[in-house]
Every structure is written in structure tokens, then in C-alpha cells.
Structure 1
Amino acid sequence: MPITTSSYNPPFLFKNGHFSTIYAGIWRKIADFDQKRERIELADGDFIDLDWSFSKTPTQKVVILIHGLEGNAQRAYIVGSAQQLNRNGYDVCAINLRTCSGESNRLYRSYHSGATEDLDAVIQHILANKSHVAIFIKGFSLGGNLTLKYLGEDRAIPKEVKAGMAVSVPCSLYSSCKELLKSKNIPYAIRFKKNLVEKLKQKQKLFPEKISDADIKKVITLKDFDDIYTSRAHGFKDALDYYEQCSCLQFLPEINTPALILNARNDSFLGPECFPVKEAEQNDNLFLEISKYGGHVGYYGSKNITYNEKRVIKFFEEVH
């Protein structure tokens, strides 16, 4: 599809990518929003916790929301999106990826950018146990990569899956990794590393034979974490092999379900390869909107409703 022109033009302060990112990640709050938790058991003996919220009017449409790295279903960008979708006639199933619901998962493995088997398990659960006949997917950052990889993989996409949207997507994981290692992103990298190392220590308590103190001390950067844990726990040779196999970029040409990518030029997490212009131009089902502003999962909007929360409803209504 031709590249979609973006109309996003925030107030002056929010034209700064870092300010937009930090505001959305730390300061934005969504009050008085109720979710109902459901735990589903997975075929490998593990579990995933889902946080549901519902339209005030009966509906057979559901949106699956997928958070980003070290997020969860209570983050403002998830809750805010769920709230707006509920107000516009959609039920919402917000996934807490493995280890992200407040409780460690049971296995040595965890979640990662390419674990589409878990997204598929949630979709199959909805099809088997719920009354929804139209399923939509919206992923943020890592969750956006999962969304697009799922839609473009060599699998039979259920006919009930109608469309997807991915926000602030690291379409090339290696390109994004290189950006995160730059000095401009040190504060974010430190925060991610702190959370990931803490979870690695929790894994060590459960699997002391697989994670040593020396391993933990070697984690200086996010790439180190992927070399030492992510790749080993999920069957990849090393971090670079993980990035190569799991980046959604290679799967974009095969997407046959309408999908929208919304990425900002001033997103400090995204490298040049994360803006797949050629792939969008050559695929009638792939829509790409590159906004000048927005930061990383920012997109500030008036009345505490972000641009991406409005955009997803417009897109889903247009294609379904």
C-alpha cells in the first residue's frame, strides 16, 4: 500500500521524542479502570495471564493487546487503549506475557520478541471458549513485532482474525538493539537492564544449574542479556541469531491480513531498518504510517486519549 500520510501534530513539548516517551511511560495515568483476570494453561506446562475488559454494549468483536519489553497489562498504554476500545464497542483481552503478570512462569524459558506460539495459544483459547467472531490484534514495541511476525508467518491465520496494528515497532531487532546501545538511550537501557537482571535472579533461584552468578555479572548491556539468557533459553545460537530469526521485517511481504504499522521518526529506539517503506509499497495488506513525532509508544493526545488509541479504532473500522 502507498505510505499513509500522518496527521499527528502534538503540542510543542511533545514534539520532543524523549519527553513524549517519558511522559507516556512514567507520568500518564488511567484512573478507575477494571480488568478481570483469566489464567490459561499452555501446552508446554506453563501459563499466561489475560486481563479482560468489556464493551458496555454486547459485542462479538475482541482486540488482543500485547505489551512491550518488561511491560504488562496494567501499563497506561495498554489500559488507555483498552478503555477507548471498550468505549467503541470492542471487548479487550490484554496479554501479560510470561513472567510479566506479577508471578514467575514455571519454565526456564520466558517471553521474547518472536514467541508467536503464545499469541496463537491465546487466539485458539478465544476461538474455543468465547463467543467472539472478529478478532483484532494490537501490539506495542516488542508486542508489535510479535503481531506482525504472527501475521506473516507460514501458518493458517484463522478467518476470525480480521486485522492488526503495531505501534513503535522494532521491525529489525538488531537495528533497534544498536540504537538502544547508543548514549542517547542510556537512561532507558539502564531501566530495562535493571528489570531484566532482577528477573534473571528469580530464574536463577528456580534453575540454579542453568544460571550462574558469573552469568549475571556479565550482563552489562541488553545484548548481553540476550546472549546469556534469551538465546540460550529459547533455542537460538546467540543474540544475533535471535534477532535475525525473530525480526518481523522478513515476514512483512507475506502478510495477507490488513495490518498497520505506526512508527515515529523521533523514536530513539528505532534504527533505519525499522521503517519498512519498500515492504509496505509492495504489499496491499500492509499499511505504514511514519509520523514526525510520537517518541516510543508516546503519541500524546488531548483528554488523555493518545493518537494511536484513536488511530487503531479508525483503522479497524476501515478494514472490517
Structure 2
Amino acid sequence: MPILEPTYKPPFWAKKSFVSTVFSGLARKVEGVIQTRERITLPDTDFLDLDWSYAKQKSNKVIILLHGLEGNAQRPYITGTAKLFNGNGIDACAVNFRGCSGEPNLLFRSYHSGATEDLDAVVKHVLSKDTYDEIYIKGISLGANMALKYVGEGNDLPEEIKAVIGISTPCDLRGSCDELMSLKNRHYAIRFLGHLKDKLKPKLIQYPKNISVTDFNEIKTLIDFDDVYTSKAHGFESALDYYNKASCLQFLPNIKVPSLIINALNDSFLSAECYPVKEAKHNPNLFLEMPKYGGHVGFIDKRNIYYNERRALEFVNSINKGNFET
């Protein structure tokens, strides 16, 4: 499918990647979203907390929302989408990944970019309600990689899944990790690593046979974290093995569900491999939009409705009508 022509024009003050990224992550507020929490038990006995918000009228449509690294279902990039979709007659199911809902998860494992088994469990749970015959999935950053990997893995997907949207998608996890660890992103990497290590500390006590204090003290970088914990806890040989197997890039050619990727060209978290131009040109179900601005999940726009949120709704509506406009 041809590459889509962006129409995003940010405010003059939000053109710099750092400004749009930091403002959107730390300063943006979204009010008026009422969420109701539901806990589901996963096949391996762990749990996920889902935060639901609803349209004013009973709906047969729902969007499943997936947050980014160390995020949660209360982040503005999640509640902003939920508010817009709720206001347009679509319910929202915002997923908190394992350990991200304010309560530690039960098992040694947690979440990672390729944990599509958890997304599959959420989809099956949503379908079990016998309420929805149209499901959309929107992922942000890590959640975007997961969503696109899920629909590209070649499994028999429920016919109710109608569209997928990935925002600021690290299609190549190795490349994205290298970018995050570069000097220009050092402040972000330090912040992410601090949150990840804080969350890992209780597992030293819970699971001393799985990870030792010595192992923990060896974690100095994000790659170290994935080598010491992420890979070992989730069945990978190493951080590089995890990046290779969990990256959605290799699954994009197999996608059969209409899917939209919006990655800003000035996103400092993304490497060149995270802009899948070739894959989009050869897959009629894959749409790629690359705005000049937007940073990482920083598509600031009018009336506190972000560009990526509006485009997600336009994509869903157009897919339903069978005439998504490029």
C-alpha cells in the first residue's frame, strides 16, 4: 500500500522532538474519563488488570489499548484515546501489563514487547462477554510492537478484529534499544532503567533461585536488564535473542488485518529500521504514515486531541466503510 501523506502540523513550540515527547509524557492532562477496573486470570495463573471506559450508549465496538514501556492504563496517551473513542460510540479496554497496575504481578516473569500471549488472553476475554462484534487494537511504543506482532504471527485471528494501529512503533527492538542508549537519549534511558530496576527488586526476595543480588548489581544499562532479566524470565537466550524474536518487523509482511503505523521522522527512540517502507509498499493491509514531527508519542494538536488519536479514529471509521483515504 502506498505510504500515506501526513497532514500533521504541530504548534511552533512543539516541533522539537524533546519538547513534544517530554510535554506529552509529563505535562499533558486528560480529564473526564471514568475507568472501571476488571481483573482477569491468565492461563499461567498470573493476572492482568483491565481498565474499562464506555460510550454513552451501549456499543458493539471496543478498542483495546496497550501502553508503552513502564506505562499504565492511566497515561494520557491511553486516556486521550479512550476519551475520543468513547465520545464516538466505542468502548475502550485499557490493558495494564503484568506488574503495571500498581500491584506486583505474581510470577517471576512480567511483560515484554513480544508477549502476544497476554494480548491474546485479553482478546479472548473481551469476546467472552458476547457484547462486541468489532474489536480494534491500538498500541503505543512497546504496545504497538506487541499489537503488530500479534496480527502478523500467522495465527487464526478472531474475525472480530477489524483494525490495528501502532504509534511510535519500535519495529526493530535492537535498533530502538541502541537509539535509547545513545548519548542524545541518556536521560530517557536512565529514567526507564530506574523504574525497571525498582520493579525488579521485590523479585530478588520472591525468587532468589531465579535471580541473585549479584545478577541485579550487574545491570547497568537497558541491554543489561534485558540480558539479566527479560530474556531469562521469558524464555530467550539473551537480550539479542529477545530483540530478534520479539521485533514486529519480521511479521509485518504477514499482516492480513488493516493496520496503520504512525512513526514520526524526528522520533529519537527509533532507528532507520523502525520505518518499514518496503513492508508497507508490499502489503496492501499495512499503512505507514511518517510525519516530520511528533517525537515519541508527542503528536500535540488542537483541543488536547492528539493527531495520532484523531488518525486512529479516522482509520477505524474508514475501514468500516471500506474506503480508508490515503
Length-normalised TM-score, structure 2: 0.97
SS at match of 1:261: strand
User: Displacement, 1:34?
Assistant: 1.1
Counterpart of 1:124 in structure 2 is: 124
Q: Which residue is 1:156 aligned to?
A: 156
* Number of equivalent positions: 320
Greater alpha carbon shift after TM alignment, 63-72 vs 300-309: 300-309
Residue 282 in 1 paired to residue 301 in 2? no
Give CA deviations for 1:40-85 in whole Å, capped at 9, x if unaligned: 0111111100000000122100000000000000001101110011
What residue is the counterpart of 1:67 in the other structure?
Answer: 67
Deviation by residue 1:248-303 (Cα, 9 ceiling, x = unmatched)? 00000000000000000100000000000000000000000001000001100111
Moved beyond 6 Å, runs of 4+: none
Amino acid of the structure 2 residue aligned with 1:92: A
SS state of the match for residue 62, structure 2?
A: strand
**Structure-to-structure mapping, 1:5-16, within 5 angstroms:** 5-16=5-16
Q: Which amino acid aligns with 2:239?
A: A
- SS of the residue 1:208 aligns to: coil
What do the CA deviations read for 1:196-238 (whole angstroms, capped 9, x no partner)? 0001102112112222111111111111100000000000000
2:34 corresponds to 1:34: yes
Partner of 1:143: 143
Superimposed CA distance per residue, residues 102-140 of structure 1 (whole angstroms, 9 cap, x where no aligned partner): 111111110000000000000001111240110000000
CA positional deviation for 1:144: 0.1
Could you tell me whether the CA contact under 8 Å between 2:33 and 2:82 is conserved in 1? Answer: no
Percent identity between the aligned chains?
Answer: 56
CA distance in 2 between counterparts of 1:78 and 1:220 reads: 30
Number of the residue aligned with 1:309: 309
Could you say what secondary structure the match of 2:289 adopts? strand
Instruction: Give the partner amino acid of 2:136.
Output: F
1:86 and 1:61 map into 2 onto residues whose CA distance is 10
Equivalence for 2:165: 165
TM-score (norm 1): 0.99
Alpha-carbon distance in structure 1 between the residues aligned to 2:102 and 2:58: 31
Residue identity matched to 1:237? E
3-state SS of the aligned residue for 1:52? strand
- 1:126 and 1:134 map into 2 onto residues whose CA distance is 11
Which residue identity is paired with 1:52?
W
The one-letter amino acid paired with 1:67 is: H
Pairing 1:241-252 to 2, within 5 Å after superposition: 241-252=241-252
User: Matched residue of 2:290: which SS?
Assistant: strand
How do 1:211-222 and structure 2 match up within 5 A?
211-222=211-222
- Structure 1 residues 261-270 or 127-136, which shifts more? 127-136
For 1:87, the equivalent position in structure 2 comes to 87
Q: Distance between the aligned counterparts of 2:285 and 2:200, measured in 1?
A: 39
What is the rounded CA distance, in whole Å, between the counterparts of 1:221 and 1:59 in structure 2?
45
Name the CA distance, whole Å, in 2 between partners of 1:316 and 1:211: 44
In structure 2, what is the Cα distance between the partners aligned to 1:301 and 1:208? Answer: 48
- Could you say which residue in structure 1 is the equivalent of 2:111? 111
Tell me if structure 1 keeps the 8 A contact 2:32–2:83. no
Show the 5 A alignment for 1:288-303.
288-303=288-303
The residue aligned with 1:258 is: 258
Secondary structure in structure 2 of the residue aligned to 1:165: strand
Unaligned 5+ runs, structure 2:
321-326
> Structure 2: how far apart are the matches of 1:210 and 1:230?
12
C-alpha distance in 1 between matches for 2:205 and 2:317: 47
